[in-house]
Amino acid sequence: MAASFRLAVVATCLLVLASACQGLQVGYYKDTCPSVEAIVRDEVKKFVYKDAGIGAGLIRMLFHDCFVQGCDGSVLLDPTPANPQPEKLSPPNFPSLRGFDVIDAAKAAVEAACPGKVSCADIIAFAARDAAYFLSAFRVKINMPAGRLDGRVSSSSDALNNLPPPFFNVNQLITSFADKGLSAEDMVVLSGAHTIGRSHCSSFVSDRLNTPSDMDAGFANFLRGRCPANPSPSNDPTVNQDIVTPNALDNQYFKNVLDRKVLFTSDAALMTSPTTAQMVKDNAFIPGLWDGKFNAAFVKMAGIGVKTGFQGEIRRNCRLVN
Ligand code: HEM
């Protein structure tokens, strides 16, 4: 690793929570499992080339893992009699979060090559990074530090309390990211991930279509044609988030925000403060700006609340604590 890059990683980590990034290193598995990053990339490639949406799911999975108990694979834990309501079953994750099969496949392949060496939390971080690489047509190349351990705690209420909902206003969004050591700019830049993937109608119908909102009238009518007026668990279709380039990880999201063709109150909210509005414009119009900022903010997010030493373990099965 070049000395300058090592410095950049350390600097990024220092900016995040003091405990975050502790022990994280690019190339962490070079002695214990040198093939891990290639193995994960191959698995992600297979899934994403079949269904780009799975790549969107993996990128969102990293966000949902890291904001709840830190980046510790807690989102992967299945319900058990002792813990019937883990994060996975929380409303922000169920039924919308996808990509769990990719993590299972990657973990199985990694365990076959180097048993007991690689955490599930690191597999999520590598998989999300690789999804960004493939969906950006290889433009977003992230050196992902590793060395996270897997946590043993996963609770539905933690997910509800820590993940920002789509009806948040700009101050609520900024506070929610600040609580994790991320800046307002990180929040704006990372929201750019809404340039891929989908949303269930229930995430935006009530506050964006059934209530007067600033959404572009043509876009609102298009969505009314796709969504029931009152979505329910048995009738909750999905729509693409980015109507222009739905499967490309690019800066189109920021152009959509400016055109008022975005789904959530939280997306539109970026235009309601002068500083975040300026960031939206810069990311929309300055070529290449967003790619670099996304890269740095993604690594920063992937360092939130990392567990080391006795705080965690390397799970044998990502769905169960050892
Ligand atoms: C700023 C606060 C954020 C809010 C309020 C928010 C909210 C949401 C909601 C409600 C959905 C749709 C879920 C559904 O109904 O299916 C969604 C999808 C998505 N979000 Fe966010 N999100 C935020 C930030 C982020 C961040 C930081 C990332 C990653 C860097 C991210 C990546 C995604 C992706 C990729 C999808 C599509 C998932 C798929 O297609 O499976 N979001 N988000």
Distance 60 CA to ligand 1 centre (A): 6
Predicted TM-score (pTM) of the model is 0.94
166 has pLDDT over 80: yes
pLDDT at 262: 98
Q: Are 208 and 222 in contact (CB under 8 A)?
A: no
Q: Are 226 and 268 in contact (CB under 8 A)?
A: no
pLDDT at 23: 76
Catalytic residue among 64, 107, 307, 319: 64
Residue 123: which residues within 8 A CB-CB, separation 6 or more?
40, 73, 103, 106, 107, 110, 318
59 Cβ closer than 6 Å to some ligand 1 atom? yes
pLDDT at 315: 98
pLDDT at 19: 39
Question: What average pLDDT does range 133-144 have in this prediction?
Answer: 98
3 has pLDDT over 60: no
* DSSP secondary structure letter of residue 139: -
Q: Are 54 and 127 in contact (CB under 8 A)?
A: no
Distance 221 CA to ligand 1 centre (A): 22
Tokens matching residue 57: 């799911």
pLDDT at 169: 98
Q: Residue 43: which of 53, 30, 54, 34 has the closest Cα?
A: 54
pLDDT tens-place string over residues 11-55: 444 444 433 445 799 999 999 999 999 999 999 999 999 999 999
194 Cβ closer than 6 Å to some ligand 1 atom? yes
64 carries an active-site annotation? yes
Q: Please state, rounded to an integer, the average pLDDT across all residues of the chain.
A: 94
pLDDT tens-place string over residues 40-93: 999 999 999 999 999 999 999 999 999 999 999 999 999 999 999 999 999 999
pLDDT at 22: 57
Q: Which residue's CA is the nearest one to ligand 1's atom 2?
A: 164
pLDDT tens-place string over residues 196-214: 999 999 999 999 999 999 9
Q: Which residue's CA is the nearest one to ligand 1's atom 41?
A: 57
Q: Which residue's CA is the nearest one to ligand 1's atom 27?
A: 190
Helix, coil or strand: residue 187: helix
In 3-state terms, the chain is what percent helix, strand and coil (to 5)? 50, 5, 45
